[in-house]
Amino acid sequence: MKLISALLCLFLLTGCAGGGLSSVNENSFISGSGIATFVEKDQRKSAPILSGPTLTTGEITLNSNQVTVVNVWASWCAPCRAEAPVLQEFSVNYPQVQFAGILTRDNLSSARAFYETFNLTFPTFIDDSLLIGFGGSLIPNAIPTTLIIDQDGKVAVRISGEVTVAGLKKMLDKVLVND
């Protein structure tokens, strides 16, 4: 467990990245500045149950039987600021999908100001130890990282770096159509 934690910290210490450390293969797509890795349904690994305290709504547990977009962010991260309006817009335009954030390497007052500045309405978990639960699948490897979890609770997509409208739409629609 210590090795997984150390590796996760190493990946997160790469800071704000446009591309991340993802390997590129036939299932990878470059969308804007983020590299998206799609995992075929039969090769996906389970995501952890996301439960805990949030920035604004108290303690919650996400529905594990619903397609979920999880964004790992920090208020000091410029790509996180750039993608926040995109994620908020998608959370409104895809009501069948649940959206959540995981705050990492940040303080709560800065994070709350970020949350209010961008009028975010989806919950953000404040316990970044939740990231350790992704160790057996596509781990968040940059700040920001966006993961799409399928309706079976398995990690289907990782976008390392800033999401774009076209990139997120392509990956989210692909998961929704295939599930």
DSSP secondary structure letters along the chain? -HHHHHHHHHHHTT-B-SSTTPPP-TTEEEETTEEEEE--GGG--BPPP-EEEBSSS-EEE--TTS-EEEEEE-TT-HHHHHHHHHHHHHHHH-TTSEEEEEE-S--HHHHHHHHHHTT--S-EES-GGGGGGGTTS----SBSEEEEE-TTSBEEEEEES---HHHHHHHHHHHHHH-
Mean pLDDT, residues 85-102 taken together:
98
What's the pLDDT tens digit per position in 116-170?
Answer: 999 999 999 999 999 999 998 888 888 999 999 999 999 999 999 999 999 999 9
Distance between CA 101 and CA 87 in Å, rounded? 10
Say if residue 144 is preceded by a cis peptide, omega within 30 of 0.
Answer: yes
For the chain, give the percent of residues with pLDDT over 90.
74
* In the predicted structure, residue 104 carries a pLDDT above the cut 80: yes
Beta bridge partners of 154: 46
pLDDT band at 99 (very low <50, low <70, confident <90, very high): very high
Give the CATH H-level superfamily of domain 2-178: Glutaredoxin (3.40.30.10)
* Mean pLDDT taken over the chain: 85
For the chain, give the percent of residues with pLDDT over 70.
81
Given this model, what pLDDT does residue 142 score?
87
CA angle 46, 28, 172 (to 5 degrees): 60
Given this model, what pLDDT does residue 154 score?
96
pLDDT band at 110 (very low <50, low <70, confident <90, very high): very high
pTM over cut 0.85: no
